[in-house]
Amino acid sequence: MIPSILPTYSRAPMSFVKGEGCWLIEADGRRFLDLGAGIAVNALGHAHPALVKTLSEQAQNLWHVSNLYQIPQQQALADKLVAESFADTVFFTNSGTESCELAVKMARKYWFEQGQSERVELITFEGSFHGRSSAGIAAAGSEKMIKGFGPILPGFVHLDWFDLDQVSAAITDKTAGIMVEPVQGEGGIRPLADSDLADLRELCDARGVLLILDEVQCGVGRTGRLFAHEWAGIAPDILLAAKGIGGGFPLGAVLATEKAASGMTAGTHGSTYGGNPLGCAVGSTVLEYVAAPEFLAEVNRKAGLFSQKLAGLVAGYPDVFEDLRGVGLMLGLKCRAANVDVVKAGYDMQVITVAAADNVIRLLPPLNITDAEIDEAISRLARAAEHLSASATAH
């Protein structure tokens, strides 16, 4: 019999009743160190007092009004995002998938309004993830995501990860833009080199196509800059955000330049919930923390500390781990053991990591993880690795 929850996930047996900072707590009081943060969502950890305060104050006044009216909380968050980024304008969504939908529509509409309606194709990459909508799965193009779901949204060209010459050769007079994650998340924490991203920007400029960055996972402070592309010293035309931007409240955004957004006039797009007062109030508080230079400096310092200790862990357990990759607090351990077994061994030691493609486990802790919690993470991961290598040699 089908479960009452549509069985699209194979879930671990834990069930949490409370979250506190980097910790998730089960009903029986067992505490798990959370290095997954709801897949890079809880940027400030669980139940951050400032977020709880903002949410409860806003909840007492106004939860939802339609986008048919002015929404000051939305205006404030948009103004702050524009001030802190390359963007001239922002549309709020409720998820990364919805941000992808709008980004694809926006790029195509831009060219349509330029009188080049044949420019509808988006170039995307192997291993990418852009969400689970028809556009999202068409963009990623992996067999696993599209098989069985009928006609696929046309207009996506899939290239290898990552070969600039191949990208250059793939651009035609049908190309609307190139969509890429500066650091692939689901694909296994695979960062694009800063030089590759800079070259990609140059290529887009030279060939007159739009650069669309999917920073749903790597954005909002995760890499130690507000947005990951800042490391490469470049700016996109369109950027997808979600996950960390609401700190746990469902919120997403598309950021764009005036030029890229120029086709999106009144009536061309909308969302009932997108940009509602609750989500935007929380988003503003998240951004106040995460965009602060001192906060980002701390992310970088802690990322250095964590990486250094993780490199030691990899060296100490060569039969379990192969290498360390990633940027900032978006880290991945490529495993020699099966990554799902490493994640499970972690659960036994009450530390949470997230599996990704390429046999990687992801470490995406709250950005305000403490030094002591980093030490605790290393010691729990070491015990998990110890357990795995002991059981491997026992065979």
List of residues contacting ligand PLP (CB under 6 A): 95-97, 100, 129-131, 181, 185-186, 214, 216-217, 242-243
d(CA 234, CA 36): 28
Closest CB 116 distance from ligand PLP, rounded Å: 27
Chain position carrying tokens 């980093």: 374
d(CA 303, CA 199): 26
Closest CB 242 distance from ligand PLP, rounded Å: 5
Closest-CA residue to 328 (of 359, 367, 360, 384): 367
d(CA 392, CA 387): 9
d(CA 337, CA 222): 27
Nearer to ligand PLP, 210 or 242 (CB): 242
Strands 89-93 and 252-256: antiparallel
Nearer to ligand PLP, 73 or 97 (CB): 97
Closest-CA residue to 156 (of 194, 185, 121, 129): 121
Closest CB 18 distance from ligand PLP, rounded Å: 23
Residue nearest to ligand PLP (CB): 96
Nearer to ligand PLP, 227 or 317 (CB): 227
Helix ranges restricted to H, 85-193: 96-113, 134-140, 143-146, 164-170
Closest CB 139 distance from ligand PLP, rounded Å: 9
Give 228's DSSP letter: G
Q: Is 211 helix (H, G, I), strand (E, B) or coil?
A: strand
Nearer to ligand PLP, 210 or 337 (CB): 210
Nearer to ligand PLP, 19 or 136 (CB): 136
Nearer to ligand PLP, 291 or 354 (CB): 354
Cα distances (angstroms) measured from residue 219 to each of 84, 85, 228, 244, 385: 13, 11, 6, 7, 30
Q: Within a 10 A sphere around the Cβ of 1, how many other Cβ atoms?
A: 3
Chain position carrying tokens 């806003």: 58
Nearer to ligand PLP, 189 or 313 (CB): 189
Residue 78 host element (H or E) = helix 72-84
Closest CB 207 distance from ligand PLP, rounded Å: 24
Closest CB 102 distance from ligand PLP, rounded Å: 12
Closest CB 257 distance from ligand PLP, rounded Å: 20
Q: 348-351, long-range: CB within 8 Å, 24+ apart, which pairs?
A: 348/384, 348/387, 349/380, 349/381, 349/383, 349/384, 349/387, 350/30, 350/31, 350/32, 350/33, 350/380, 351/32, 351/33, 351/35, 351/377, 351/380, 351/381, 351/384
Closest CB 278 distance from ligand PLP, rounded Å: 17
Q: Is 130 helix (H, G, I), strand (E, B) or coil?
A: coil
Nearer to ligand PLP, 44 or 213 (CB): 213
Nearer to ligand PLP, 366 or 385 (CB): 366
Closest CB 100 distance from ligand PLP, rounded Å: 6
